[in-house]
Amino acid sequence: MKLTQYFFPTLRDDPQEAQIVSHKLMLRGGFITQSSSGIYSWLPMGLKVLNKISDIIREEQNKVGHIEVLMPTIQSSDLWRESGRYEDYGKEMLRFTDRHDREMLYGPTNEELITDIFRTFIKSYKHIPLTLYQIQWKFRDEIRPRFGVMRGREFLMKDGYSFDLDMEGAKKSYKAHYEAYLRTFKRMGLTAIPVKADSGAIGGDMSHEFQILAQTGESTLYYDSEIENLNGQDLDIDKLQSLYAAAEEKHDPSICPVPADKLKVAKGIEVGHIFYFGTKYSDPFGATVMGSDGEPVTVHMGSYGIGVSRLVAAIIEASHDDNGIIWPEAVAPFKVGLVNLKPSDETTSALCEKFYVSALAKGIEILYDDRDERAGVKFADMDLIGLPFQVIIGPKGAATGRVEIKIRKTGERQDLSFEDALKLF
């Protein structure tokens, strides 16, 4: 993509409404723009990141056999009355009526709908276990939206729902999600800490939140400092699972097995939440399947969420410096940013064009800054939007066919021949 032909509305100043770094950088980098409180438009670069995150989630879900569906955002109140949540869910649920005065709502979650689909079509134990998931916009009318897409009212969420014959099966589904989630976050360059969480009415150990450590996080975590040593290495799920980690509401100092000097307290951003809730919905909905003995069995369910749009902000919180965002390669809107330091210089522009075309031919996602701007502007914008690699070509290098590579994360620079530079990607 050439910048002169792209939609790239960066800002030099921090908009005053932004408080935390991810929000500031997302606005300044032209990733999002606010439409109303807690509701955002995703601009081209932001959308690219959002889609990359969605794709990773999708791949990891599909890999473990979960099936994607897409349910409506607008739901009728009927099913919610059936589960009793129409009354229980407070003002967070956006309700309205259609032209026939029927009560409708914009879904904050989809347990009712998915259970309804399940009971309609699945009648035999032979067709489960089954996990259906979707990546879909949700709306929760938060009392106080804040921090940009971190706590928006409209947000993109991956929500999955498992159906099993019994609790043992449900535990397996739960474990599959637990592991898939860890792999998913790891692929995004994040170290997610699974912490025991409040599972609501059901209780037990079957609820975990996945937290990203960040000073601006809204959750407080207590965990064994040993967990920090697991960073970066190959995922050792058994080890991770054996270590203590709990959300504030589940942490009881009197029974905590971790000695005080090894116990860490930190802030985290909740990017995922999984829980098992048994027959909470299948019971009132009559979601049963015929067992092998010919007796109907009420299915055991779990639900599993990932905050997709929140992840965009969470990744930035976890990966940035004073100059801007540092995208992990897997979610970067482009892999390479090509900076033409002097578009008016023919040799320079010719070399840039050649690099651009060669990169495209290799299937490299490249953003070419061909604007007639000063070098400083381009460097600043490139650092701001945080592409992993910068290829810088100016008149001096171009004269001898040399290009400069800058690694955004480390700031490290290398002077390379055109061919060697291209080979890097």
Partner RNA sequence: CGGGGUGUAGCGCAGCCUGGUAGCGCGCCUGCUUUGGGAGCAGGAUGCCGGAGGUUCAAAUCCUCUCUCCCCGACCA
**34 near RNA, judged by CB under 7 A:** yes
* Residue of the chain from 2, 6, 14, 189 that contacts RNA (CB under 7 A): 14
Spacing of C-alpha 187 from chain mean position: 11
Nearer Cβ to RNA (195/297): 195
**377 near RNA, judged by CB under 7 A:** yes
Stretch that binds RNA, among 42-50, 97-105, 143-151, 417-425 (CB under 7 A): 143-151
Residue 361: CB atoms within 10 A of its CB come to 9
Nearer Cβ to RNA (70/143): 143
Nearer Cβ to RNA (98/218): 218
Phi, psi of 52 (to 5 degrees): -65, -40
Task: Judge whether 318 and 310 are in contact, CB under 8 Å.
Answer: no
**247 near RNA, judged by CB under 7 A:** no
Nearer Cβ to RNA (223/379): 379
Stretch that binds RNA, among 11-19, 59-67, 276-284, 330-338 (CB under 7 A): 11-19
Nearest to 326 by CA among 23, 25, 15, 11: 25
CA dihedral 266, 270, 272, 278 (to 10 degrees): 90
Stretch that binds RNA, among 72-80, 96-104, 160-168, 370-378 (CB under 7 A): 370-378
Nearer Cβ to RNA (272/302): 272
The three-class DSSP label of residue 86 is helix
Helix (H) / strand (E) element for 421: namely: helix 418-423
How far apart are alpha carbons 395 and 172 in whole angstroms?
Answer: 61
The three-class DSSP label of residue 406 is strand
Phi, psi of 353 (to 5 degrees): -60, -40
Nearer Cβ to RNA (36/231): 36
**Residue given tokens 């059936």 in the structure block:** 82
Terminal CA-to-CA distance of the chain, rounded, Å? 16
**152 near RNA, judged by CB under 7 A:** yes
**CA-to-CA dists, residue 105 to 79, 91, 384, angstroms:** 11, 11, 39
**248 near RNA, judged by CB under 7 A:** no
How far apart are alpha carbons 355 and 84 in whole angstroms?
Answer: 61
* Residue of the chain from 66, 177, 335, 342 that contacts RNA (CB under 7 A): 342
**308-337 mask for RNA (x: CB under 7 A)?**
-xx------------x--------------
Rounded (10°) angle between helices 44-63 and 167-187: 140
Considering all CA atoms of the chain, what is the largest pairwise distance in Å, rounded to the nearest integer?
A: 81
Stretch that binds RNA, among 29-37, 46-54, 76-84, 234-242 (CB under 7 A): 29-37
**30 near RNA, judged by CB under 7 A:** no
How far apart are alpha carbons 240 and 214 in whole angstroms?
Answer: 19
How far apart are alpha carbons 192 and 202 in whole angstroms?
Answer: 25
* Residue of the chain from 8, 356, 379, 418 that contacts RNA (CB under 7 A): 379
Site size for RNA (CB under 7 A): 64
List CB contacts of 23: < 8 A, sequence separation 6 or more: 147, 148, 149, 150, 313
Nearer Cβ to RNA (240/398): 398
**112 near RNA, judged by CB under 7 A:** no
Residues between 50 and 109 with contacts to RNA, criterion CB under 7 A? 90, 92
Residues between 394 and 413 with contacts to RNA, criterion CB under 7 A? 394-397, 404, 406, 413
CB of 127 to RNA, least distance (A): 27
The binding site for RNA (CB under 7 A) comprises 10-17, 19, 28, 34, 36-38, 90, 92, 140, 142-147, 149-153, 155, 157, 209, 218-219, 270-273, 305-307, 309-310, 323, 341-342, 344, 374-377, 379-381, 383-384, 392-397, 404, 406, 413
